[in-house]
Chains A and B, each alone.
Chain A
Amino acid sequence: MKTPFLSLLPLLTLAACGWDLPNSGNAYLHLPLWDARGIQATVDGLYVPMPHNGGITLLAPGEDARRVDIGEGRVVNITVPPASSAATVAAVIERYRCEVDDKKEARKVDRLADCADEDLKVDVEIDLIAGGVVTSSVPLDTPFRSMVWNAAGTHAIAWTDAATAAGIDGVVNLTSVTVIDTIAGTATAVPVGFSATDVLFDDAGARAIVLSQSAVAVIDLATSPPARDVTFALTLDPDQVVTPVGVQLTPDGDYALISVQGSSDLYVLDLVNNSVNIVTLDLAPSAMHVDPSDDLTVLVSATTAAVDIMDHRFFDVTRVQLDEAMDAIIDGDGFDLLYGRNHRDVYRLDPLTGDIVEFRLQNPLLSLHLAPTEEFAIAFTAQGAVDGRPGMEILDLRDTRGHSYPYLLEGVGIDAKFTVDDAGLLHALILQSDVTYLYALDLYGGTAREIELDEPPIGIGARAEGGFYVTHDDPLGLVSLVDPTTDAIETIAGFGTLGIFDPIDFVVQPGQEETP
């Protein structure tokens, strides 16, 4: 007679060994499979961030979508170096190790979530990728949330500010930035001040201006290793916090213009003589733009219905009154477009003469887009009070009388891209929210056509090889490649499932030695 114990033995054994059942095709999606808004268009194709599996997928023309082999880890940031760089994208990658002393305990650690916080070690590196392949990597000390490249693509500066440091484990140094030399393959921490917020390289790429709380530092990139050249304090009172929010360089590179939050003071840093002068404006600038050809700076403020034009010799300011306060500037060749979100005025300003052309929109402005030929600008406007529909107005910038041509849209305008056909005709591609077509408008002739899409779009971007890509709100991945010359559309779908069952893992399994 069989004893009940023997019947139960398999079950008991199973209980003793744990519920380590084989994968049955399920995956828990705590993060999206792909990031539609993080796509980087390069000569290799479209690099798509994959938050769920922590990697990158390349959508190359004429090829199947494929994952870029970055090894085990998680991509936290992708940037596109300047075209002159040998790399097409740079990815900041976190690699994880779980250092558990007890080997028995280590065997229990199978996934990241199983590793105790105190045992989890994070190594950070920046990988340079070209052709879908990692070509080199530079180890970093800590993760970063922001990165800026110089024009030559030889250096990048990465940093984390106090506001974005949340979620980074371990001790985070908020008083330094990391200067990455892609040629030498080095990363150097340079102290700059507390909580760097922005970086601007000079045109030669030999210096970087770093904005921090109550300070501005200049880093000399020509020295090896890169080093801080000078730090300018923005206040002498330790109780006062001065937050720089904008930086521009004068065309000769001799002066850095620093705007600060909530203040009408514009700090003019003399980078040649290392001195500071404060130009007290009559407005608190919301936006400023240095016009290189006229050697002037244009400043607007969300709280003042005027535009100030400042010369770079004596930093004298000339004011031009406006009817509405503007908070943004788009620079053109010899002119600036001034606009304010939710306002109805748009101004074309000649900074040299101070002459303005006023465009009056039918409804409040949502966004403004300047055509590459600078003859037209497209303004997306909010729903009208009368017609209840969002709108679009074509601003004819050739016209000194401020003429614009309003259109009613079917959906709220998301973005506009421009293309010039073989006949030299300028077309605008209009993307509308929840609308499954691209509206292609001949800006000269006014004729239009609709290019059908499979799904409502999220965004549109320009491809390096020409044409555009449109992203759609499809959790499994959906991108449309649009050729505006033929209206042909190639759809790439489902790429979000790549690596769906390949979670972010350790570089080395706990308890095992790392393979050199």
Chain B
Amino acid sequence: MRVPLPLVLVFALAGCSADYSLGGDDGPYDQSDTADNGASEDPDDGAPPEQENAFLAMRPAQTDVFVFVANPSRNTVTRVNVNTLEVRTTEVGLDPHGIVTTPDNTTCVVFNRGDDSVSIIDADTLEQRVVPVRDDFNKLVMSPNGRWVALFHDVAAERPDDPPPSGVQSYNEVSFVDLVTGEHFGMAVDYQPREIQFTPNGLLAAVVTKTSLGIVDLNARPLLPHLVPLTDVLVDPPSAEEVVVVPDGSYAFVRQFGAQDIVVVDLATEVTTHVPVGENPTDIDLTPDNTHAVVVSRGSHELHLFDVAAPFDPPQILGLPPDVSLGSVLIDPTGRQAIVYTTASLTDRYATWDLTTDAITLRQLVKPIREISITPDGNSLLVFHTKSDAESADPASPFHNSWAMTLISLDDQRQNPLRLPAEPIGFANSADGAYGYFIMAGVHQLTRLDYLTLLPEEFPVKSDPVYVGVLPDLDLTDGDQPKAWVSQEHPLGRMSFYDADDNSLETITGFELNSAIEE
């Protein structure tokens, strides 16, 4: 009998606003977290894995006042003050290719891909420190408390324009950088790290590799990982597909490709235990109060609810509608209800799950689901649809073979399906849940969604939009809406800022020229 090695990782969702680039099928930005497409590994329902969002390296970063844009060809970062439109540009290392900001809005961190370094920049003064890291990384992750960044090479995130490696290259290395002290800690973990997660308090990090978790005590010196194997299969071991860590650092729930159970890892004792969860588990999430882990078993049409304080107690099992494939769960931030859906097949239905009553209700959509998002206040649901239609779709439908999205009120389930002229490529929601914004490929407009009326409003921009975001709202009670921004294609940089308070749209263009100003 295998000695269980409970090992718990804390899963923390970083970021102050829900800004996403759309991934999934039917789109060019297929940025799935999954390193492998497990379709061939799943013996039960034959459907591919569920598609989730992934970090996109070139996305601008934001604080409450500034938007930071990396300019890889100029080796600079441009900071735009959203209120005054003042533009300042500062030089960083070679080929800046990842940029994030700390939750306290004081620091911007840039990963310089070309010279393997990290620039730690004061958001106000633009003074910076440069910290060399290990070579050939392509992913940057920040801890939720903004104290650490971690970098690694993710094979799944490799791009054609990645600089060619020089000299010895390792696929087992990660770097941790203390943003306060500027110290760098490099280390070797297991083969091909694919994800790094932090506890909310920043004390612990977990490096997820194919077959192990590398637990890093960030207070310990020397800073080294402790590897916890996730399987005792030595030949062709199953890969970890998803890891959810409990915030108190007690347990981690690991879902492996093609496995029919989940692995519960006790972080303290490092004991791993396989827990059955029905057939073909495809998603794990924590409830917002972090008391339960929810596993969606697509094959057996079940939800398994685990008490994270007692993960080995029998879970509560809720049945899902048996005649529809549902493999993903998204719980609203208030914990009131959840959406159970699938992105792995062309299914034009979803279920709402009332967490209070455990009532599960199947509902109809106009088209299958590509991506969904619940507003921070939990009142509204935004559904982006696939262009392809469900098998049973009516060819005469105005949404047939078309891009579409649906706004849904989660209070009364009102829907407003919208036919779109092009593929949506990004969206963002305001922190108070009042508005959402999205952009479409090749369409020169920013669309604002009013979640109260479920009505869209379009604002023209000058060129193809690339990314969209909403500044964090530091005071949800002041009645002011933070600005939304949309970056656009332009050889010299273009960004527009929308203020919902006065319905104004301002645009700055050519800010990359600031890097060539000679004083």
Contact = CB atoms under 8 A, between A and B. Distances in A.
B506 interface: yes
B511 interface: yes
Interface string B473-496: 000000000000000000110000
21 contacts: A230-B518, A231-B518, A232-B517, A233-B516, A236-B491, A236-B512, A236-B515, A236-B516, A265-B509, A267-B510, A273-B86, A275-B514, A276-B510, A276-B513, A277-B85, A277-B510, A278-B492, A279-B509, A280-B462, A280-B509, A314-B504
* B86, B492, B506, B510 — most chain A CB neighbours (10 Å): B510
Contacts of B492: 235-236, 278
A229 interface: yes
A255 to B, nearest CB: 12
A240 B88 CA distance: 24
A234 B509 contact: no
A233 B89 CA distance: 14
A513 interface: no
Interface in A215-245: 229-237
Contacts, number: 61
Nearest to B510: A278
A229 B517 CA distance: 11
A404 B144 CA distance: 73
Interface of B is mostly: mixed
Main secondary structure of the interface of A (DSSP, over half): strand
A303 interface: no
A231 B74 CA distance: 17
Contacts of A234: 513
Nearest to B87: A275
Nearest to B81: A273
Contacts of B509: 265, 277-280
B13 interface: no
A265 B507 CA distance: 13
Interface in A259-293: 265, 267, 273-280
Contacts of A280: 462, 507, 509
B519 interface: yes
Contacts of A233: 513, 516-518
B394 to A, nearest CB: 42
A38 B504 CA distance: 52
Interface in A313-335: 314, 316
B518 A277 contact: no
B77 to A, nearest CB: 14
Contacts of B514: 275-276
A279 B492 CA distance: 12
A218 to B, nearest CB: 10
B508 interface: yes
Nearest to A274: B517
Closest 3 CB pairs of A and B: A278-B510, A233-B516, A278-B509
A11 B356 CA distance: 132
Contacts of B86: 273, 275
Given A273-B86, A277-B509, 16 more contacts: A230-B518, A231-B517, A233-B513, A236-B74, A236-B491, A236-B516, A237-B491, A265-B509, A274-B517, A274-B519, A275-B88, A276-B513, A277-B85, A277-B508, A278-B509, A280-B507
A232 B516 CA distance: 7
A15 B290 CA distance: 118
Contact of A236 (B87, B507, B513): B513
